[in-house]
């Protein structure tokens, strides 16, 4: 088997055109208090307002819409902590495809329930003892179905990058260019897609991966210039970002285009969730809040600069959200 072909900036542009009829162009948000606290101009991409509650619908829609009609007949399989699973289920339902989602047994109920509502079959596993990719691969093989992984897939990466294209266009519409763009990072698909998008829209913008403490495999891999795995002993708060290591495709892109990686603590993530709820009136899940957390915690110098921030998802467990807001 040959080396997979990496997606390009042109692939992101094509993906944006392809998926626009099926997704929401989410708004760019600003808040005076955020600008005052940071000393900069902070432009927020509000992906919790996307259909299914996260950016994942972009990549899932692009990947499934590119499948030949004949290939859709036996359905689609994926493995996901929740958001990609919802997205695949939603995109598959729109195409009358059967979807099977391999999800961790401890995934928030809100994500499992939302996935099931789209008619998908859910297969649970123990994320600490079982290999989700192996389970999904066997299911796909047995059914003759298409396997669409959550991040290490060229069409998924290209679709995710449409979020950055939209943000860059909204920034340009108010006469702003972004000095830096901060992206929530798990396996690196959104980050890689955004990096490719900015090569097309704003090559001078510095791209930073943002990860939770203890799951900073991309930051460490960038520093070492090689893929490094997590030891899986970190906090489970940011459930959407608990990839075991950077993807092969995603890291091949991110090592070329990223300026570095930033790491935030659980308390910084919770502070960002509270800020989003109280001031932006936006529900943000922990994994979706890490880029905002990095800005609020001063992990990047925003003074007199324009900083883009992708808030990647809003599928927060209600009990957890209540506890976080209670402080």
Read off the pLDDT of residues 114-141 as tens digits, 9 standing for 90 and up: 999 999 999 999 988 999 999 999 999 9
| pLDDT, position 128 | 84
pLDDT of residue 109: 87
Pick the CATH number of 9-54+155-326 from 3.30.420.80, 3.40.710.10, 1.20.1560.10, 3.40.50.1100: 3.40.50.1100
Q: How many residues are given for the chain? A: 327
Domain boundaries defined on the chain:
9-54+155-326, 57-152
- Give the C-alpha separation, 83 to 96, whole Å: 20
Listed as ranges, residues in the chain with pLDDT below 70 are: 1-3
What pLDDT score was predicted for residue 81? 82
Judge residue 14's burial from the number of C-beta atoms within 10 Å of its C-beta, 0-12 exposed, 13-18 middle, 19 or more buried.
Answer: middle
**pTM for the predicted model, two decimal places:** 0.96
Q: Which of 64, 28, 23, 66 is nearest to 45 (CA)?
A: 28
User: What pLDDT sits at residue 3?
Assistant: 62
Cα-Cα end-to-end distance for the chain: 52
Is the separation of the CB atoms in 168 and 184 below 8 Å? no
Q: What per-residue confidence (pLDDT) applies to 1?
A: 45
Cα–Cα distance list, 240 to 81, 91, 145, 273, 325 (Å): 6, 19, 25, 15, 19
- Using alpha carbons, list the distances in angstroms from residue 287 to 29, 131, 141, 148, 283: 19, 21, 31, 21, 12
Q: d(Cα 84, Cα 244) in Å, to the nearest integer?
A: 16
Classify domain 57-152 by CATH architecture: 3-Layer(aba) Sandwich (3.40)
Bridge-partner residues for 207, per DSSP? 181, 258
């Amino acid at each position: 088997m040959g080396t997979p072909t990496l997606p390009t900036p042109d692939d992101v542009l094509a993906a944006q055109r392809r998926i626009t009829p099926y997704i929401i162009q989410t708004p760019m948000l600003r808040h005076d208090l955020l600008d005052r606290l940071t000393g900069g101009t902070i432009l927020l991409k509000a992906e919790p307002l996307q259909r299914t509650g996260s950016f994942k619908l972009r990549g899932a829609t692009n990947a499934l819409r590119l499948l030949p009609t004949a290939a859709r007949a036996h359905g689609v399989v994926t493995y996901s902590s929740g958001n990609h699973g919802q997205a695949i289920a939603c995109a598959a339902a729109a195409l009358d495809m059967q979807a099977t989602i391999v999800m961790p047994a401890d995934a928030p109920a809100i994500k499992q329930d939302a996935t099931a509502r789209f008619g998908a079959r859910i297969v649970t596993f123990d994320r600490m003892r079982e290999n989700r990719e192996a389970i999904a691969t066997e299911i796909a093989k047995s059914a003759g179905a298409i396997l669409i992984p959550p991040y290490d897939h060229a069409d998924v990466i290209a679709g995710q990058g449409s979020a950055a294209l939209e943000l860059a266009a909204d920034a340009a519409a108010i006469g702003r260019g972004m000095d830096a763009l901060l992206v929530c990072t798990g396996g690196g698909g959104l980050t890689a897609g955004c990096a490719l998008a900015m090569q097309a829209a704003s090559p001078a913008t510095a791209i930073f991966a943002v990860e939770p403490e203890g799951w900073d495999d991309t930051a460490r891999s960038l520093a070492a210039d090689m893929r490094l795995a997590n030891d899986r002993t970190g906090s489970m708060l940011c459930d959407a970002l608990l990839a075991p290591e950077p993807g092969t495709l995603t890291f091949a892109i991110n090592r070329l285009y990223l300026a570095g990686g930033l790491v935030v603590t659980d308390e910084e993530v919770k502070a960002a969730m509270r800020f989003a709820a109280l001031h932006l009136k936006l529900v943000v899940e922990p994994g979706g809040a890490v880029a905002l957390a990095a800005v609020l915690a001063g992990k990047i110098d925003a003074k007199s600069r324009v900083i883009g921030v992708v808030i990647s998802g809003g599928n927060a467990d209600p009990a957890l959200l209540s506890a976080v807001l209670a402080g």
